[in-house]
Structure 1
Amino acid sequence: MSTIERAEVFVASPGRTFVTLRITTSDGVTGLGDATLNGRELAVASYLQDHLVPLLIGKDPARIEDMWQYLYKGAYWRRGPVTMTAISAVDTALWDIKGKVAGLPVYQLLGGRSRDGVMVYSHASGTDVPSLLDDVQRYLDLGYKAVRAQAAVPDVGGTYGVRKGTVYEPAASTLPDEQPWDTEAYLRFAPTYLDAVRERFGFGFHLLHDVHHRLTPIEAARFGKRVEDAQLFWMEDPTPAENQEAFRLIRQHTTTPLAVGEVLTSIWDVQHLITEQLIDYVRTTVVHAGGITHLRRIFDLAALYQVRTGSHGATDLSPVSLAAAVHIDIAVPNFGIQEYMGHVDETAEVFRSGVTFADGMLHPCEEPGLGVEYDEKAAERFPYEPRYLPVARRLDGSVHDW
């Protein structure tokens, strides 16, 4: 019987910081898992290296479900982003191994294709409305069928989602950037640029917008009602999800679809949102919600209530997570859309992925497993760089949700 012989944790910063787990079996088969938690990477690396890796050695890599339960229930301390990200890495790596042993891409092990490709959206942004419109045009020219739109609020320096370089990456290499925030100015301005996008480009593509947890429930309700004519594909994270009853209030005031879940880590975190049909899209992701095994459970629950998938897919997910997401997306019946921002060239030097983009859709690699390789030698050229996500402060100096 094949057993787990070695498990290695790699921390590198090729363009941004990633934590990668590589499991090797006694038969020489390797599997990769992503363990990146933006701004708290070393906490997960330590959890893996100091607590989980010793538990893996000698175990049967084929017993994925048993391993998931062992790591989740056996720790006593359950859930939370650090624990679930570490479990995700192990689970994803074991699915990669299982696919290689079977000689099949992972999506075939999940039941095969439910669709030909995975529709994705990317992030258009601008420092003002004209530059946002130019950026939307750029993504439409690239073939995207769905675009998220964000623009800097005039005279407010901390607007979420405005790209500075080729790829949006809010984490900074110093201590957290403290950014100002003015809710009232945002509520006045954001609907106007969403209207401007529709006025210029029409309704022949999907338009998305991320509020990024910044509104109270009644403010989010007012915003959702105001932008109904723009026919958003979704309004993302309108208010912090800790108070899930808040989404019932938003529902009472607007028909704008709601998407939530990128910071939630388990089926229990989204159970109420799904079963009460308080959201339209669940955004949990393979890297933070327990890996392929647990994410599939979440998506299956969502399917019962006509909630569709819309997994988080920013640059703080490595190409390993993106590949795993595409394998799940191509298989589940209630797929909605997949976030896709791409990665910088340095990332591509370390991770070799077979995922391809064409005609607004991603396509999984047909090689056995996930179809991703990790170049350890290349990673050595990009040593760890500590980075922090920003902190938002209201104009009176008090801390706000970022």
Structure 2
Amino acid sequence: MITIRSVRAIVTAPGAINLVVVKVETSEPDLYGLGCATFTQRYAAVKAAVEEHLAPLLVGRDVGRIEELQQLMMVHGYWRNGPVLNNAISGVDQALWDIKGKVAAMPLYDLLGGKMREAAAVYRHADGPSLTAVEDRVRAFIDDGVRHVRVQFGGYGGVACEGVVPVGALPGSYYHPRRYTRDALRALEHIRTTVGDDIELLHDVHERLRPAEAVEFAKEVEPLRLYFLEDLLAPEDIDWFENVRSVCATPLAMGELFCHPREWIPLIANRRIDFIRMHISMIGGLTPARKVAACAEQFGVRTAWHGPGDVSPVGHAINVHLDLVSPNFGIQEWSGFAPEISDVFSGLPEVRRGYVYVSDTPGHGVDIDEAAAASYPPIPRVDTWTQARLPDGSISRP
């Protein structure tokens, strides 16, 4: 029996984004696994959860009993399904799958049942301060072979509106919901008109609208035939998806902030969304993500896993391995890698002509140079973009 010898969290910030990778070392010399545990805004809390709580629980246990260890880690602290603990569990869970693939001498996609496709189609992000800048970005992606592009205009919530705030208003990331929806609609119409119908367009609301505003916006974009409208509502407002469904056929993708099964199960079972798109480490790793994908398949809901810059290369590889084997795969978000990432990680997934490919080496295929990782220490910061505010200064959901 191969057992767990140590569990450590490696925190590194190549590209100025704090990433958390868990390394599980085993009783076999040189046999270890890596898993993504990146909750970039609370990286120190995840590291503490891994090393102070999970490591003492896991050392000496059988590395092959992934499902049992997933269940044990989830319930051992009694309180469960929160983002810090779920990310810590994910790091271990993904590392155990990596080890299992290495022991079996199989790439993860083979261990999960084998490929249904050779690569996963991706969508890229096109944003800019003007319609011309956004169009130029979209056309550049098209030239690279990308066929799905997410169109934004001025960032999440649109162009900042600091000029209309009250005297003495506190600092934050100010936005105007009505201005945002007008500008977003204008940008999408412009791209559809100038670029045409052969490109699939997406848009991310990022939960910046009140429910009634969200319903109205979903109706307004319906004629533009989006591939999907992303994160239209906050998790606290998911019952409103029934209202959206009742008034328009705009395809809906949801799940970036989900942590708890009770958030996604009703949306899938009642067919209120078309794509499920959680941050896999935020729900506890590959083990629960496989179950989500299988559940969604039964209800005609496709996958579109969260793939921003604050997912480590390990997490991106996990996304793609699952994409390759899932019958109900839809699309994979892809934000690209900063040049510094390759200083720290090897075996990176690669994008070519609109598709992302993973390594065929055993496990998930990504490795880390710990010495190089240490040369990019975590960056303590107080984020401003998550201090979203409405024009009167009220705190809003980011």
Shift of 1:58: 0.5
Counterpart CA distance in 2 for 1:56 and 1:31 is 14
Task: Name which of 348, 352, 363 aligns with 2:357.
Answer: 363
- Partners of 1:244 and 1:272 within 8 A in 2: no
More off after superposition, 177-186 vs 298-307? 177-186
Counterpart CA distance in 2 for 1:155 and 1:108 is 42
Shift of 1:215: 1.2
Q: Which residue of 1 aligns with 2:242?
A: 248
Task: Name which of 108, 112, 115 aligns with 2:117.
Answer: 115
Provide the alpha-carbon RMSD of the alignment: 1.7
Q: Which residue of 2 aligns with 1:8?
A: 8
Shift of 1:38: 2.2
* Cα deviation 1:272-304 (Å, max 9, x = unaligned): 111111111101132111111100111111111
| SS of residue in 2 equivalent to 1:244 | helix
Shift of 1:357: 1.5
Q: Which residue of 1 aligns with 2:393?
A: 397
* Cα deviation 1:254-283 (Å, max 9, x = unaligned): 111111101112433201111111111101
Is the aligned partner of 1:295 residue 2:298?
A: no
TM-score (norm 2): 0.94
- Partners of 1:218 and 1:249 within 8 A in 2: no
Q: Which residue of 1 aligns with 2:177?
A: 183
Q: Which residue of 2 aligns with 1:25?
A: 26
Shift of 1:243: 2.5
**Which segments of 5 or more consecutive residues in structure 2 lack a partner in the other structure?**
163-169
Shift of 1:233: 0.6
Task: Name which of 22, 33, 38 aligns with 1:36.
Answer: 38
Letter in 2 for 1:395: P
More off after superposition, 263-272 vs 203-212? 263-272
Q: Which residue of 2 aligns with 1:169?
A: none
Q: Which residue of 2 aligns with 1:351?
A: 345
- Partners of 1:323 and 1:353 within 8 A in 2: no
Letter in 2 for 1:157: A
What is the percentage of aligned positions where both structures have the same residue? 40
Counterpart CA distance in 2 for 1:194 and 1:177 is 30
Counterpart CA distance in 1 for 2:252 and 2:382 is 28
Taking the TM superposition and a 5 Å limit, the aligned residue runs for 1:200-279 are 200-279=194-273
Counterpart CA distance in 2 for 1:354 and 1:130 is 33
- Partners of 1:222 and 1:253 within 8 A in 2: no
Given the superposition, is the C-alpha separation of residues 255 and 395 from structure 1 closer, same or farther in structure 2, using an over 3 Å criterion?
Answer: same
Q: Which residue of 2 aligns with 1:89?
A: 91
Letter in 2 for 1:57: V
TM-score (norm 1): 0.93
| SS of residue in 1 equivalent to 2:223 | helix
Counterpart CA distance in 2 for 1:127 and 1:238 is 22
Counterpart CA distance in 2 for 1:292 and 1:23 is 15
More off after superposition, 213-222 vs 91-100? 213-222
Task: Name which of 305, 310, 317 aligns with 1:311.
Answer: 305
Letter in 1 for 2:160: G
Per residue, is there more helix in 1 or in 2? 2
Shift of 1:189: 1.7
Taking the TM superposition and a 5 Å limit, the aligned residue runs for 1:25-174 are 25-28=26-29, 29-152=31-154, 156-157=159-160
* Cα deviation 1:170-218 (Å, max 9, x = unaligned): xxxxxx9711110111122211110100111111121100000011222
- Partners of 1:218 and 1:250 within 8 A in 2: no
Counterpart CA distance in 1 for 2:115 and 2:362 is 15
- Partners of 1:210 and 1:237 within 8 A in 2: yes
* Cα deviation 1:337-382 (Å, max 9, x = unaligned): 1101011111221111242212211112100001001000101111
Counterpart CA distance in 1 for 2:158 and 2:139 is 25
Counterpart CA distance in 1 for 2:74 and 2:161 is 38
- Partners of 2:129 and 2:159 within 8 A in 1: no
Letter in 2 for 1:216: R
Equivalent residues, number: 386
- Partners of 2:7 and 2:50 within 8 A in 1: no
| SS of residue in 2 equivalent to 1:362 | strand
Given the superposition, is the C-alpha separation of residues 240 and 67 from structure 1 closer, same or farther in structure 2, using an over 3 Å criterion?
Answer: same
